[in-house]
Amino acid sequence: MAWTTGRGKVMRFLGSVVPTLAVLLTPAAIAQQTEAVVPTHAKRQVVVSVPDRKLVVIENGAVLKAFAVAVGADVSPSPTGAFEIVTRLTDPTYYHAGVVIPAGTDNPLGPRWVGLNKKGYGIHGTNMPGSIGKAASHGCIRMRNRDIVQFFAMVSVGDTVEIHGLRDEEIAEIFGGEADQTAVAIAHATSTGAAGGQ
């Protein structure tokens, strides 16, 4: 009815609708809707081998893609264990001890950030591509910028990330080559309860 009874009523009608649309279409609301509506892939697993300086994405037991990475330096090693992806950011801003670097070629995080449920740690791009394949980061897993963009598209919040510090049989099976026998002995002792001063 408002549409046929004159311009003033139409404008009042639109005025009552438009603010509602503005509230519904805020960037946060769009992000929440996108996360909820976009179909997700089957749950994927990311496995990082610190000794191999490599990362793989696995789905249903099959390796989908392998990437070369940089891992934590000796003075700032990458954390090991099982983690979960909790955030995904495009063109992240870098914050550290009073330093703020916006998205761009100088940003140490590169074009993407995949945050883990261990505060301050994640998988990201880099402004130092020569560090890939080395133990050079502050503990995060670094990827080449073209690789992090591809990796980012392959993973979702909730996917698991395992970071392995030793080259045991599981890691040798995934990445190829021989297992480190010391790592195998440690894994065996841990699983049988022989470790820990018994």
At 179, is the pLDDT very low, low, confident or very high (cuts 50, 70, 90)?
confident
How is residue 142 annotated by DSSP? E
pLDDT for position 103: 95
State mean pLDDT over 72-94: 97
Active site residue 41: no
Active site residue 164: no
At 114, is the pLDDT very low, low, confident or very high (cuts 50, 70, 90)?
very high
pLDDT for position 153: 97
Cα(155)–Cα(76) distance, integer angstroms: 26
Token pair 């894994």 is found at: 187
pLDDT for position 33: 37
Domains and CATH numbers, the chain: 44-165 (2.40.440.10)
Catalytic residue among 41, 96, 124, 138: 124
At 180, is the pLDDT very low, low, confident or very high (cuts 50, 70, 90)?
confident
On average, the pLDDT of the chain sits at 81
Strand intervals (E) in 91-184: 94-96, 99-101, 112-116, 122-124, 135-137, 141-143, 160-164
Length of the chain: 198
pLDDT tens sequence across 116-175: 999 999 999 999 999 999 999 999 999 999 999 999 999 999 999 999 999 999 999 999
pLDDT for position 121: 97
Catalytic residue among 138, 140, 164, 188: 140
- DSSP for 12-81 reads HHHHHHHHHHHHHTSHHHHHHHHHHHS--PSPEEEEEETTTTEEEEEETTEEEEEEEEEEE-TTSPPP-E
Cα(151)–Cα(6) distance, integer angstroms: 55
**What's the predicted TM-score (pTM) here?**
0.74
pLDDT for position 182: 74
At 96, is the pLDDT very low, low, confident or very high (cuts 50, 70, 90)?
confident
Residue type for 110, please? G
